[in-house]
Amino acid sequence: MKVLIVSQYFWPESFRINDVATGLVDSGYEVTVLTGKPNYPQGKFYKGYGFFSKSKEKYHNVTIIRVPMLPRGKSGIFKLVFNYMSYALSASLLAPFLCDKDYDCILVYQMSPVIQGIPAIVLKKLYKIPVLFWVQDLWPESLMAVGAVNNKKVLNILSNLVGWLYRSSDKVLIQSEAFYEHALQHGVNKNDICYLPNSAEELYKPVVPSTESEIAKLIPEGFVVMFAGNVGVAQDMESLLKAAEITAVNHEIQWVIVGDGRDLVRMQSEIKLRQLTKTVHCLGRHPIEKMPEFFSHADIMLVSLTNDPIFASTIPAKIQSYMACGKPVIASLDGIGAEVIEKSQAGFVAGAEKPDKLAAVVLKAASLPKAELDKMGENALKFYMDNFERNMLLKKLVDIMQSLHTKADK
């Protein structure tokens, strides 16, 4: 069976779709990815890549087709808009010439922007290939949540576009059950909506910390609260800073940020201005393969999002990563992500944009016996294995693809 994955982001950029693609190959599928030139999160093309260079390559037996596009830049909404539009336009125009006509299925991995799904619908219209649209991010609501777009006419146009993309697809997969109403409101038949949460790559598993490793030398001594992943506006770094100011009375508590993003420079500046350099540490971006070892040196992991209904509907992918490594979690967010932590008894819920409560939760966690935190970590791993385990969810995706292919053959 031949599968085409349409995703603006792919290896060497670090996203879950990389693992999904290789997992499908391991399941016996022939997989091609239609993507852009890697430039996330630095905002410039990775070394060795250019506007026209490296248009085709291989990654673990996955065939990669790259179309020309503009890099996103380090800051500025206009560069980001041109980045989004350039991929959607370039891929839509070139896909009919670069991609085969006989794929059995097209899988759209829809993060921001939603318009990256347009090339898939173009191919469907041309070659009658069934499309699975896997919704990771709700548009246009997420744009409103971060203040990127507030114009009602623009939002209405985007909402209509989302509805067209969903209805043009054969199945709409949702990473959170809270997305169900969103899909219905955009005209998707309830029988065409499937819940398929994210998993975590196989490399995410419990690791025994090594005091002799290079990573261990980066971690400060004390009670370590670790945030890993994208450092952006949506991740509410302001609450972390305010909570760190409160917990500074306890010199043992150390906040560690592993990652990069559009808000990192501001964060680093604020850490200095607020005189938090001894308790808040930005370690920058590191390879995904190193994440389990980083996690092993943390006493508790932090996941955070701003206070917005749209984010309350989302399960941040880092929750699965943390749980797969058997780590206790603090959820500085609302909604379904917080419910996962509560239901699994894997940690604490502080709520979104509540730095006072976040600080109180951290102070409480730091006062607990290690055995209690270890038990939360065990609960996290068990819940992950029961609900988010990689091979289980990959099989579910394969079954959905197979049923769609069988239906198309009739």
pTM: 0.88
What does the pLDDT profile of the chain (410 residues) look like in tens digits?
999 999 999 999 989 999 999 999 999 999 999 999 999 888 899 999 998 888 999 999 999 999 999 998 877 788 888 999 999 999 999 999 999 999 999 999 999 899 999 999 999 999 999 999 999 998 877 777 666 667 788 888 889 999 999 999 999 999 999 999 999 999 999 999 999 999 999 999 999 998 889 999 999 999 999 999 999 888 999 999 999 999 998 989 999 999 998 889 999 999 999 999 999 999 999 999 999 999 999 999 999 999 988 889 999 999 999 999 999 999 999 999 999 999 999 999 999 999 999 999 999 999 999 999 999 999 999 999 999 999 999 999 999 999 886 666 65
**Quick check: bond before 41 cis, omega within 30?**
yes
Q: Pick from 352, 297, 306: which is nearest to 330 by CA?
A: 352
Q: Return the pLDDT at 43.
A: 87
CA distances from 149 to 75, 140, 160, 214 (A): 15, 8, 15, 43
Query: Which amino acid does the sequence have at 106?
Result: I
CA distances from 162 to 86, 251, 308, 392 (A): 18, 49, 20, 29
Per-position b or e across 1-33, b if 16+ CB within 10 A of its CB: eebbbbbbbbbebbbbbbbbbbbbbebebbbbb
Q: Return the pLDDT at 410.
A: 53
Q: Return the pLDDT at 155.
A: 81
CA distances from 59 to 42, 62, 112, 339 (A): 21, 5, 23, 36
Phi and psi, residue 251, nearest 5°: -65, -10
Q: What residue segments make up the domains of the chain, in order of their start?
A: 2-199+389-409, 214-387
What is d(CA 216, CA 213) in angstroms, rounded to the nearest whole number? 5
Contact residues for 164 (Cβ-Cβ < 8 A; gap 6+): 121
Contact 46, 39 (CB under 8 A): yes
Q: Pick from 222, 175, 213: which is nearest to 195 by CA?
A: 175
SS3 content of the chain, % helix, strand, coil (to 5): 45, 15, 35
Please indicate whether the domains covering 2-199+389-409 and 214-387 agree at the CATH topology level: yes
Q: Pairing between strand 193-195 and 223-228?
A: unpaired
Q: Pairing between strand 56-59 and 62-66?
A: antiparallel
CATH architecture type of domain 2-199+389-409: 3-Layer(aba) Sandwich (3.40)
Q: Return the pLDDT at 284.
A: 93
Q: Return the pLDDT at 403.
A: 87
Instruction: Tell me which CATH homologous superfamily contains domain 214-387.
Output: Glycogen Phosphorylase B; (3.40.50.2000)
